[in-house]
Amino acid sequence: MTVDEYAGRCEELFALGGYAQVRAAAGQGLAEVGPDPVLQRWLGLAHAAEEDDDHDDEAEAVYKEGLRRWPDDLGLLVSYLELCLRADAWENPGRKKRAESLKERIAELAPPGSPEAQRVEAAMGWAGRGYWEDVRTESDRALSERAARASLSADVGRGVSDGGPAAAHPEDLRAAEVAAALELLSGPWNAPLRLVARYRVPSYVAAIGLAIVTNKVLVGSGAVTFSLWGWFWYLPLLLAELKLKHARQLARERVIAAVETRHTLDS
């Protein structure tokens, strides 16, 4: 395989979140075709994407090794800059300080308006965020994840009505998510959860109403002076959400495996 073919494999797997698989593909490419800055960069990115201290250390070692061989490679320089900007100033003061020299070097090599310069601007903007901007970003991410599960729930409802998932390509992520969700929600004991997934909005409305009524009845009867027991009506909804979350992760793993199988057959 060529460097471009290995890089294409890395890009495809990275987009799916298969970071371990990217590291394996990049390492295999480096062993087969020899040192290359593009594959070196993918190896570093696949470590950095894990957002783990040990992986960050590995990513830094990969970038440093790459820049010793190719000191002017913009891909490595920008990726290393992004890692340094993300570093904690207390835990890794040296890495944090290194960002300035990297930024200056990139400015010498990348003209304004170039893709690398735009990545630097985006990274600097991200690094300069304040506390409330971080809170807003996390909130947006949570809302996006919740919207994705709501969309999946609608597709699962259609799958339940149709009697099962439709035939689809093994690399179709949404189809894999629906198939995994239907699999996890199968069986008579999961019938209430299938109902919740199929009628998500009415289920939430009903849970709120039942919770309020249950709490009022318990307090009004004198059984308790204050009640939160009614909110147990939310338990099936929470279990259904966990099933959908697990289904999305399971589907991603299956699609990554399918992509790797295709690459193995093509090579």
**pLDDT, position 125:** 62
Q: What is the mean pLDDT of residues 180-208?
A: 87
Alpha helix ranges (H) inside 87-189: 93-109, 115-127, 131-162, 173-184
pLDDT, one tens digit per residue, over 39-81 is 999 999 999 999 888 899 999 999 999 999 999 888 899 899 8
**pLDDT, position 222:** 81
**pLDDT, position 191:** 87
pLDDT, one tens digit per residue, over 20-34 is 999 999 999 999 999
0.75 surpassed by pTM: yes
* Between residues 59 and 263, the one the model is more confident about: 59
pLDDT, one tens digit per residue, over 89-130 is 777 888 878 888 888 888 888 777 777 777 777 766 655 444
Q: Assign 170 a pLDDT band (cuts: 50, 70, 90).
A: confident
**pLDDT, position 132:** 41
Q: Assign 134 a pLDDT band (cuts: 50, 70, 90).
A: very low
Percent of the chain with pLDDT over 70: 92
For the chain, the average pLDDT equals: 84
**pLDDT, position 133:** 47
CA distances 27 to 32, 45, 68, 71, Å, are: 9, 12, 18, 20
* Contact criterion met (CB below 8 Å) for 30 and 40: yes
Q: Assign 138 a pLDDT band (cuts: 50, 70, 90).
A: low
Size of the chain, expressed as the number of residues it contains:
267
Q: Distance between CA atoms of 171 and 87, rounded to whole angstroms?
A: 35
